[in-house]
Amino acid sequence: MPEPLRVPNPARKLTVGSCCSGWCAELFACEMLSLDFLPVFGCDLLPSAQAVSEALFDHEFWFWDCMEEDFLQAPHVDLFLAGLPCQPWSRLGPSRGFEDDRGLLMLPVIRWMSARRPQVAIFEQVGSMLTRHPREFALFLELLLQIKHRGRPAYIVTYETLNCRFHGYLPQNRERTFVVCICRQHAVAEMSWPARVPVLRLSSVIDADTEPALEDFPGRLPSSATCRRNVMAVYEKILEEGRDPLEQELVINMHGSEPHWNEGYSPCLTQARAAAGGFWLSWLQRQMTSAEVCRLQGVDMCRIPAGLATERQIRQLAGNSIPIPLLARVLQAALEAAGLV
């Protein structure tokens, strides 16, 4: 996998903290950039997130819930990241915004930022928060700008919507909005958002099978009746185009009432879809493996010690993650703007 441009190590260890941490994508990104970093704290309700993150990175502190007062005691760090829950803002599901309690998680995070003022803060959210909930998104930005230092906004706040397929190498159609806050007193340059890069071939993350042998059309099909019906509906559309669906790299979201597919790249891996085992691969006549689900987010599953979590829990963490190469490119630009590298 191509790596983002490497950057010089800072003169001292970069201190890092996060909220809604999952398996701590920000620390995988720091590794990708060859940074010398210190994992200070993480925060996540999922026991599997704590188990995996602590085993991989050995944080100094771990907090269970950012809504609890003890989270406000989390110490200052240079870099802070929050991948806040997407369900309140996603176009999938009820999308209830602040009426969903998870939509309020930004408030204690902003309280902590106001007290500790990290030099760089990065927030990641679904692009539909900006398009479907513009008032709430504007309020979020305003709250960040209300953090003051000597009577003026403490942060330069910028945002951009990026797609992993276009800006993060990986063949996954995952669009997310990033909000980057650069401490004004440390800023040395404007934030320069990542440009487009070539996408890797799907074969770089999907294993080529040798056994068992592939079957004639319609080939092996999912065991679930709903999934079989959805896969066959896609196959029929491809046949109508005069093509053989078993010869095309069709990645099929076979769950739900309506099938959705992409050719040559994966649909967005949500937590639910990742937990269910990922998508159907027509040319291999099978569902994704857990290792492939992790690779589509830029993580080698072999990194995760056995016994810490079930495969389903690991896939859940993958589905909740920020794609590592994409985050590394955003992180590199933010650290350069803040004078930290």
Rounded CA separation 319/172 (Å): 12
The residue with tokens 């001292």 is 12
Cβ–Cβ < 8 Å for 14, 78: yes
The full DSSP string for 14-80 is EEEEEES-TTTHHHHHHHHTT--EEEEEEE-S-HHHHHHHHHHH--SEEES-TTSGGGGGPPP-SEE
Catalytic residue selected from 20, 86, 164, 268:
86
Cβ count near 223 (within 10 Å): 8
Cβ–Cβ < 8 Å for 145, 153: yes
Q: Would you state the torsion angle of the CA atoms of residues 148, 152, 158, 159, taken in this order, to the nearest 10 degrees?
A: 40
Both tokens of 182, joined, read: 């650069």
> Is residue 30 flagged as an active site residue?
no
The full DSSP string for 68-125 is SGGGGGPPP-SEEEE---STTT-SSS---GGGSGGGGGHHHHHHHHHHH--SEEEEEE
Cβ–Cβ < 8 Å for 43, 65: yes
Q: What's the residue count for the chain?
A: 341
Residues with a catalytic annotation lie at 86
